[in-house]
Structure 1
Amino acid sequence: MSSILPMLFLLTPAATFRRSTLNAKRCLTSRRGLLTLAIETSCDDTSVAIVEKTKKHSKSAARIHFLENITADTRAHRGIHPIIALESHQDNLATLVQKALNYLPGSKTGDGLKLADGTRRRLPDFISATRGPGMRSNLSVGLDTGKALSVAWQIPMIGVHHMQAHLLTPGLVSCLENEAKPEDAPAMTPEFPFLSILVSGGHTTLVHSKGLTDHSILATSEDIAIGEALDKSARDILPDTLLQEAKSTMYGKSLEQFVFPNGKADFADYTPPETRGEEINKRVSDWGWYLTTPFANTRTMQFSFSSIASMVGKIVQSNDTNLKMSHSESVDLGREAMRVCFEHLASRTVIALETLRPHNNGKNDIKTLVVSGGVAANQFLMKVLTSFLEVRGFGNIKIVAPPPYLCTDNAAMIGWAGIEMFEAGFRSELSCRPLRKWTLDPKANDGGILGPGGWTQKR
């Protein structure tokens, strides 16, 4: 941090700090778009982005001027290693910020940020940095850097809720499409209210979103997240050679490629259970084993994935120690593990939709199901959800998921969430601290997004 601040003060013209110049800059913001530099360091991905919200033909549009991620290499530990992830943030964040400055839009007024090569760049209108939830030490690297930039450039900062950013990512995608084809652009989608499934290595949450900061948690995992269950299953199922060749510790992705080498063609014949009774039925494999779906006999609004990973491990270990599981059996086990995990998600989603459907007219206000987080990039998951909702009477629900590069942790989504909060008048105080745990639900003990201290709001 100490190496960043002097450079920023040297490169920033003195006029930037004058109140009159700042006021003039604010007046110009609406005409040239709202610009933010965003930082994400909640886990093992160091990410920086430059995001701008503009208007095209009176419709909201967006541009990502810069986005780059660096993931900590923790393959030797076959999972996330907190210290290595922290050191990766410390090694890479300042370099990414410096690189991002070159992608700031040019200044048309002659003020702004003067780079080392003499060019003038627009100063961001504010900084967006992930405040939580996540690993506290890792969050501190990004949040403290965001505070330093905020002070150096005399601009506000937004401490962003990581999971809120995932929820709002489809809105960013919609506005990116509006930027590309403004004449065909619809209004920004999805519109509130909508349902979201947040699925990643650290989270599995079903959310009813009614507004920017108004989110109700309908179901969450009481043990491990779905991404962790898939990663654990993958470590048991995948051949050692594939584990060693993996470029990251996202073993669930490697498992998908292993069991579905031909992509969608390999699961084109998937048939979902049409009734609750079919959900409960055991599907005994050709090899004699089977996996059971958690809470299949109940309508409990809760997720559980540890039992699935445990069953997979026991099946692999039960094989004759002198005989490795065959390739065909490994593929079948991997497919079955994914099917059970994804049908468990789909089952609770259908129960939620049935509960939210008004009794008087049978129609549901929910028109969209957002699927976000790293696991949302899994194509078989999308197949299961689409098929499941169709046979259960919810084929009218539109299922949307961001492109893979915006599903995983990234600073672009942090910047977009920051823009949404900034436009709503919210600002973060420089005293705000990183939050290891931070719910979305205002009815939770911590008060949800606005519950922790450190917020101000301009009316």
Structure 2
Amino acid sequence: MNILAIESSCDETSAAVLADGQLKSNIIATQLVHEQYGGVVPELASRAHQQHILPVVARALADANIAKTDLSAIAFTRGPGLLGSLLVGASFAKALALGLNIPLIEVNHMQAHILAHFIDDQEGASPKPKPSFPFLCLTVSGGHTQLVQINSPLDMEVIGQTQDDAVGEAFDKSAKLLNLPYPGGPLIDNYARTGNPLAYKFPMGEMPGLDFSFSGIKTAILYFLRDNVRANPDFITQNLPDICASIQHTLVQMLLTKLKRAARETGIRDIAIAGGVSANSGLRSALTQLGTEQNWTIYIPRFEYCTDNAAMIAMAAHFKYIQGDFTDQTVSPLPRMSF
């Protein structure tokens, strides 16, 4: 079973090859054009995907030493994501599958982030530990914040989610307020390493049940910085590590508070994280510590599988291929695709 997978939901053009469940290649082309604009420009992203997709796919097949005629199926991200970006990947995948007369497999981007935990190491060593079903996954990215109960690879239920902004956006918008370049989330993480997480206190807010809200804390950070800069124009530069550490600590605690409640309510003790924000060192460290305190078994993805990549799309497609869950050529991208 040789699956070529294509990921093009936002600003990463990626292709991967999975052979009998083993990852053979995972190529990612990053779009640097967005840095000057302080965020992803959808039209520029779709144009860059058109430029990158052919060489990225060719490299993925070459690195895997697999010819197009040896492929069993083509997988692609159907959504959620930017419509123009999704169209490039979907159109390419549909055309290639049609030309080769092989099955087409659509993949939910957020489900794929979760299933990245099942990607085997490529070096031939023993597979990394994988979650047992059922398990809980905190899925955190620039566009999503969700608590998901995973009963099987193809049976997932969202039990909590943000009602406004995503935690990744809260990181990036805070970085912009601090005059940090895009993407700012990782820079907050870097500065936070040397700062005091308790230097400044921000309101965490509260949502009923297992849902999240991050709009309030973004406003609180805006006013906090505005008032302090008025009193001292050099406030940010003089206190940047402490500010970053305090912002990160608050956001992480907002996430883990709900995760702890979800584990208590479901009785599930296998806990995972996924998505771009799962690369955050503060979240990874705090989750590990909380797991020890709560006697949880913690699963944290490798850094290369946190951000958008086609390996996770291939892994999701692997499970769908086994079930014969294929897609017809009439399928269209769904920018707001849900579980």
What range is the shorter-chain TM-score in? over 0.9
Residue number in structure 1 paired with 2:161:
220
Q: Partner residue of 1:305?
A: 214
Residue equivalent to 2:118: 171
Counterparts of 2:167 and 2:71 in 1: how far apart (Å)?
Answer: 37
Aligned partners of 1:320 and 1:377: how far apart in 2? 30
Please show how residues 20-99 of structure 1 align to structure 2 within 5 Å.
34-54=1-21, 62-99=22-59
The one-character-per-residue Cα deviations of 1:41-84 (angstroms, maximum 9, x if unpaired) are 11111111122235xxxxxxx23334223225211210111111
Residue 137 (structure 1) aligned with residue 39 (structure 2): no
- Is 2:327 aligned against 1:428? yes
Q: Distance in 1 between matches of 2:47 and 2:263?
A: 43
Which letter maps to 1:85? A
Name the counterpart of 1:250: 183
State the SS of the aligned residue for 2:329: coil
SS in 1 for 2:20: strand
Q: Which runs of 5+ in 2 are unaligned?
A: none
Tell me, yes or no, if structure 1 residue 414 matches structure 2 residue 313: yes
- For 1:9, the equivalent position in structure 2 comes to none
Match of 2:202 in 1: 291
- Hey, what's the Cα distance between the residues in 1 that align with 2:237 and 2:30? 33
Q: Partner amino acid for 1:410?
A: N
Are 2:113 and 1:151 equivalent residues in the alignment? no
In the alignment, which of 334, 337, 346 is matched to residue 247 of structure 2?
Answer: 337
Distance between the aligned counterparts of 1:89 and 1:142, measured in 2?
8
Q: Which residue of 2 aligns with 1:210?
A: 151
Please give the TM-score of this superposition, normalised by the length of structure 2: 0.93
Identify if the C-alpha distance between structure 1 residues 320 and 170 changes in structure 2 by more than 3 Å, giving closer, same or farther.
closer
Q: Determine which structure has more spread, i.e. the larger CA radius of gyration.
A: 1
Cα deviation for residue 328 of structure 1 reads 4.7
Count of residues paired in the alignment: 338
Mapped to 2, the partners of 1:409 and 1:377 lie a distance apart of 11
Q: Counterpart of 1:330 in structure 2: which amino acid?
A: L
Q: Partners of 2:215 and 2:2 in 1: how far apart?
A: 42
State the Cα RMSD in Å: 2.1
Residues of 1 paired with 2:229 and 2:315: CA distance?
Answer: 52
Q: CA contact under 8 A between 1:377 and 1:407: conserved in structure 2? A: yes
Aligned mates of 1:312, 1:332 — CA distance in 2: 13
Contact 1:346 / 1:389 at 8 angstroms: preserved in 2? no
Amino acid at match of 1:205: Q
**Contact kept in structure 2, 1:72 and 1:85, CA below 8 Å:** no
Shift in Å at residue 320 of structure 1? 4.3
Q: Any idea what the Cα deviations from partners look like across 1:240-296, whole Å, max 9, x if unmatched? A: xx52xxxxx3210011112215xxxx78xx8xxxxxxxxxxxx7x4xxx6311121x
Q: Is contact 1:312–1:333 with CA below 8 Å preserved after alignment?
A: no
TM-score, normalised relative to structure 1: 0.69
One-letter amino acid of the structure 2 residue matched with residue 67 of structure 1: I
Q: CA offset at residue 99 of structure 1?
A: 2.8
Aligned pair partner of 1:377 in 253, 258, 279: 279
* Higher-RCO chain (CA-CA 8 Å, sequence separation at least 6): 2
d(CA) in 2 for partners of 1:326, 1:234: 11
**1:46 is paired with a residue of what secondary structure?**
strand
Aligned mates of 1:304, 1:212 — CA distance in 2: 28
Is the CA contact (8 Å cut-off) linking 1:45 and 1:72 kept in structure 2? Answer: no
Counterparts in 2 of 1:77 and 1:354: CA distance versus 1, 3 Å: same
